Amino acid sequence: SPTGTGKSLSIICGSLTWLTHHHARAPATIDKDDDRPVWVRDYERKQRESSVNPDAVAREKYENWAKSVRRKESAEQRERKQNARRVGAVRAKASKRGSEQSPYNSDDEVVAEYHSSEETKGDGEYSESVRKLLHARAQNRVYEDSDIDSDEDTDQNAEPEEPSISKIFYASRTHSQLQQFISEIKRTKFGHATPCVTLGSRVQLCTNDEVRTGCASAMLNERCLEMQQNGRSKRCGHLPVQRTPMLDLKDHMQTRAMDIEDLVVQARKLSVCAYYGARASVQQAHVVALPYNMLLSRSAREALGVSLKNSVVIIDEAHNLVDTILATHSALLDARCVTLLLDLVQRYFKKYWQRLRGSNVVHIRRTIALLRALDKYMRAVKTEDGGTPDVLVKGVNEFLHDAHADHINVFTIDR
């Protein structure tokens, strides 16, 4: 049907109405075997009624963890502010006295005064955290709460797995179509009560302007992963160590439908990453809008934490689905690339083969044999006049037979 006739709106109203009723529906308690004795059916019914829902338990555990994280980080923030005020008062007092033995003028005095257990045990003027902060300032290094946290405390604060609910996955070909779908949801009564998440790449969702302006789009993924591996001083500022800002972003996304632009704007207000915020909100979202390639690729779904279990999948513009599947699971390999690969693998094997394990040597030899067969076949396939290569369509088995590579198990190489 033509554009603008209400196709998306019809899908939205019907699917979201069903989803709302599905979430409100009580679990089924139908006995499968009616020929069993009554006391057996009554016993199983009571067992089901008294049993605890594991999803509800997991959800309660996650909510309790989120509340405890907020309380702890809020207390730590208040303590840091108090420490900063105390340190400022100490510095102002020392500057006013003009003493050369100020804690900030002598590292030895700081260590002797604030780290001697005999002298500080009865001194109630400064807390232990303030003394450690002063010592860190004296050594010209950043004070971090993780310096005084124990490993046991870190293990106890580990984030539990958030349970997933039934949801609707809406897939389309382009991000503009996804944005149009979200705008249609906003027009309905579901727009202000349906948690909706739009997944995209770092190119669309990155909120770090320094990375976006100084890095090409093709290198944005590598730059992002590189900054995550750096220390706190070089870490991306939109991935804070504290969890509260990301939890706040998830709360905003759970209250209304948000497209990519809305998500980026809200993430900038909270100074967090919209890309990882969207990924973290998938579990409790009612609607997840995503492109074809993220839905059809298993590796992409696993990387994003997307599970299609107990969910409904709606594919828009389905006439493009076959071409998208072929593009997702295909790769273009020309003769020049095969020759280059063969040369690189041979150089690598010649230099490092003595350091490799026996199984690795076998796999690399198989790879070299396969690349030699492909290189020889591509060089041999020419037209009769010696011009450009012919366009041929062959099955996998036929191609490997003609290339004299049918004796090589390519699946073992791929693994």
For residues 400-404, average pLDDT: 86
Poorest-confidence range of 117-131, 164-178, 238-252, 259-273?
A: 117-131
Residue 10, pLDDT > 60, answer yes
Return the structure tokens found at 329. Answer: 């699971």
- What's the pLDDT score for residue 210? 79
97, 252, 277 from 246: Cα distances, Å:
45, 10, 6
- What's the pLDDT score for residue 157? 59
First-residue to last-residue Cα distance in the chain = 45
Q: Could you give the angle at the alpha carbon of 98 between the alpha carbons of 93 and 100, nearest 5°? A: 110
**Model pLDDT for residues 350-374, shown as the tens digit of each residue:** 998 888 888 888 888 999 999 999 8
Instruction: Give the predicted TM-score (pTM) of the model.
Output: 0.64
Per-residue pLDDT band at 57 (split at 50, 70, 90):
low
**Contact by Cβ (8 Å): 258, 196:** yes
- What's the pLDDT score for residue 2? 67
Q: Could you give the angle at the alpha carbon of 366 between the alpha carbons of 362 and 367, nearest 5°? A: 115
Residue 39, pLDDT > 70, answer yes
What is the C-alpha separation between 43 and 115, in angstroms, rounded? 66
- Ramachandran category for residue 409: left, alpha or beta (phi over 0 → left; psi -120 to 50 → alpha): beta
**Contact by Cβ (8 Å): 281, 250:** yes
**Model pLDDT for residues 180-228, shown as the tens digit of each residue:** 888 888 888 888 878 888 898 888 888 888 777 777 777 888 888 888 7
- What's the pLDDT score for residue 145? 41
* SS3 label, residue 257: strand
Poorest-confidence range of 26-35, 280-289, 338-347, 355-364?
A: 26-35
Q: Which residues are CB-neighbours of 277 under 8 A, at least 6 positions away?
A: 246, 249, 250, 253, 263, 267
Q: Which residue has the tokens 């797995």?
A: 161
What is the C-alpha separation between 167 and 313, in angstroms, rounded? 9
- What's the pLDDT score for residue 118? 41
What is the C-alpha separation between 81 and 119, in angstroms, rounded? 26
Handedness of CA 323, 324, 330, 336 (dihedral sign): positive
**Model pLDDT for residues 139-188, shown as the tens digit of each residue:** 444 334 444 344 444 445 567 777 778 889 998 888 888 888 888 888 88
Give the pairing of strands 196-198 and 287-291. Answer: parallel
**Mean per-residue pLDDT over the chain, rounded:** 75
Residue 347, pLDDT > 90, answer yes
